[in-house]
Structure 1
């Protein structure tokens, strides 16, 4: 493979690196140079500035020498253009640093935003499966590849229980089942209405809480993270690899977080915690439809009673398998390879003849 190409991966939190990792591995193996582009524009936002410094610490700890990292402002100032920039969503000014742009899906949540107008910015969108493909495809500018983040999961590349426990300094009783609680942040978070009940069952289960990056860094979420850190032993921030934690988890508690779909792909026992803000969810979105099939409970329902309903989990396993096959293409561990092949295919194309997409882009962005 001609190694003249340089591909940039736009990143603003550790979650994005885990999303890209398998794709980067495949591109590097094909002699494509890969860079991480760190969004230092976050420094200009008081709410998110700490997330930027958290990202810097995370990137410095990545144990690999086959990629480099550069801050976005430096790339812009230099006038350098990548042959292709890969990002999970559109960001202002990102267009100037890439000759071509690819979107790598990072979640199926929040449909009104995920499938919004800005998707016409991308030359190619790499979709999870049929569902998002149907929402986004414009004259074959989308491809179904599966979920690259799960490649290690499906190919058996994750550490064992003891290694994961040690790496994340987890205090776990191996005689108890483990619950992973992964709430979103903001109004749709379940923390305020459910956290005390979760604490009440912590004597019967191991509880691991993985905080959303919004809860980790935002000033407006400080009271939530303080309460959780003061009342729970196993609290992880956004730098933790979700797949490793899922591997040692028996049950997943969530709310309106995109982690729902990761738990579906992992076929974990799932309970969705409803809140009084759930009326904000559009009835026609996947968030609403998935609640028709997955166990979900309203405030006042006892979590312990649901966890102990053994017959419930057998029937849900079958449902999760059906949902997984509907939402995700080929759960085989080679999504990153398929993504890399699509990147190379786009790089090899001299011109884009998708006139409809180009006209939409020109109308919106120029």
Structure 2
């Protein structure tokens, strides 16, 4: 049978974290386009040239995004972009970006997708009320078991790591759920005995410059949103985190996890989210900074259980990543061929969400206009 023509595919995002997820899939569509929605603050676009050598790059402001409709057969995204509710001709494939914070990750905004490509059965079941689901695995981890990938990751960080020490990766979340204020000094103190790598959350870079400046003073080996956490996990013996999606990256990679802090603040609590509802299964819990050295020592000598706990949860959350990009390509081609039509309920939810998004965008425009008038008066 003759191969169908390549669909005209664009990958839409606004930060490097998203484009790192897209890279293995975009490689299967070498004539694809990268759409960078311009949102403050700016970031170094050179990472795109490195990861997407054959793709065309377009940068559009929020007010220009709705003009994408019909210019591409398929728009691939991870999160909402401006004007997504006005897409009528282009079809939308979403790619799951993580497992933390379910209230957002599996929210009704998923109804803008014709299909959501998920990491595994758990996520597929969560998004099915809003759109079709295709469990493809996590494309970022396709190379995880390749010795050449691990060698490259080790070589890239070799100058900053002492080979005689074990390596700890600290990947906190951002905002009120972050463990930075309580645990950063205790983690920094571990560098006398271990290599300590800090992976900053992309929203900390975006919204919290003062915290970022403080961290630069505390940590010697610091990585931002344009650094691939999969490479950092490949050289790490344990992950330290709090309520971050990095927990689930480590679980897939079978890297031991230490969970910092005991409970989320009441104002940010979501009892359904895995990082709270099933916290006991995720890893070693560390309630106080003073408990950290002993907890790290325990985790590094404890063998990982082949079943139960995080290992059992891994099977529930993830399809094996090998072949994930090829499966994503198949889903995108099927979508371009007319499959994955939304059902009645999904269409109703999409309509309501489009009206809500339009209301929010108008409210933001009015707010900007009102603030401008106040400054002039």
TM-score (norm 1): 0.86
Query: Is the 1:81–1:96 Cα contact (8 Å) retained in structure 2?
Result: no
Aligned counterpart for 1:339 among listed residues 321, 324, 328 = 328
Aligned counterpart for 1:284 among listed residues 266, 272, 275 = 272
Counterparts of 1:299-314 in structure 2, within 5 Å, are 299-309=288-298, 313-314=302-303
Aligned to 2:351: 362
Aligned to 1:117: 108
SS at match of 2:288: coil
1: CA distance between counterparts of 2:178 and 2:168?
A: 17
- In the alignment, is residue 241 of structure 1 matched against residue 228 of structure 2? yes
- In the alignment, is residue 322 of structure 1 matched against residue 324 of structure 2? no
2: CA distance between counterparts of 1:202 and 1:4?
A: 50
Structure 1's 156 and 356: CA in aligned 2 closer, same or farther, altered over 3 A? farther
Aligned to 1:36: 34
* CA apart distance, 1:231: 2.1
Aligned counterpart for 2:57 among listed residues 69, 77, 84 = 69
In angstroms, what is the RMSD of aligned CA positions?
A: 2.5
Structure 1's 276 and 353: CA in aligned 2 closer, same or farther, altered over 3 A? closer
Aligned to 1:136: 127
2: CA distance between counterparts of 1:208 and 1:143?
A: 34
1: CA distance between counterparts of 2:311 and 2:213?
A: 37
1: CA distance between counterparts of 2:301 and 2:278?
A: 16
Query: Is the 2:76–2:92 Cα contact (8 Å) retained in structure 1?
Result: yes
Query: Is the 1:182–1:254 Cα contact (8 Å) retained in structure 2?
Result: yes
Aligned counterpart for 2:83 among listed residues 87, 93, 100 = 93
Aligned to 2:360: none
How many pairs does the alignment contain?
Answer: 347
Structure 1's 236 and 141: CA in aligned 2 closer, same or farther, altered over 3 A? same
2: CA distance between counterparts of 1:179 and 1:311?
A: 10
2: CA distance between counterparts of 1:186 and 1:13?
A: 18
- In the alignment, is residue 271 of structure 1 matched against residue 258 of structure 2? yes
After superposing the two structures, state which structure 1 stretch, 74-83 or 94-103, moved more: 74-83
1: CA distance between counterparts of 2:217 and 2:330?
A: 47
Query: Is the 1:139–1:354 Cα contact (8 Å) retained in structure 2?
Result: no
- In the alignment, is residue 9 of structure 1 matched against residue 7 of structure 2? no
Query: Is the 2:12–2:75 Cα contact (8 Å) retained in structure 1?
Result: yes
* CA apart distance, 1:125: 1.0
Structure 1's 76 and 246: CA in aligned 2 closer, same or farther, altered over 3 A? same
- In the alignment, is residue 103 of structure 1 matched against residue 77 of structure 2? no
2: CA distance between counterparts of 1:17 and 1:356?
A: 31
Structure 1's 139 and 290: CA in aligned 2 closer, same or farther, altered over 3 A? closer
- In the alignment, is residue 18 of structure 1 matched against residue 7 of structure 2? no
- In the alignment, is residue 190 of structure 1 matched against residue 179 of structure 2? yes
Specify every segment of 5 or more residues in structure 1 that has no aligned partner in the other structure, as ranges: 43-48
SS at match of 1:333: coil
* CA apart distance, 1:198: 0.7
* CA apart distance, 1:134: 1.3
Query: Is the 2:65–2:81 Cα contact (8 Å) retained in structure 1?
Result: no
Specify every segment of 5 or more residues in structure 2 that has no aligned partner in the other structure, as ranges: 356-377
Aligned to 2:358: none
2: CA distance between counterparts of 1:138 and 1:113?
A: 15
Aligned to 1:178: 167
Structure 1's 202 and 82: CA in aligned 2 closer, same or farther, altered over 3 A? same
Aligned counterpart for 2:193 among listed residues 190, 193, 204 = 204
Aligned to 2:72: 82
2: CA distance between counterparts of 1:8 and 1:155?
A: 28
SS at match of 1:314: coil
Query: Is the 2:262–2:285 Cα contact (8 Å) retained in structure 1?
Result: no
TM-score (norm 2): 0.84
2: CA distance between counterparts of 1:75 and 1:317?
A: 47
Aligned to 1:46: none
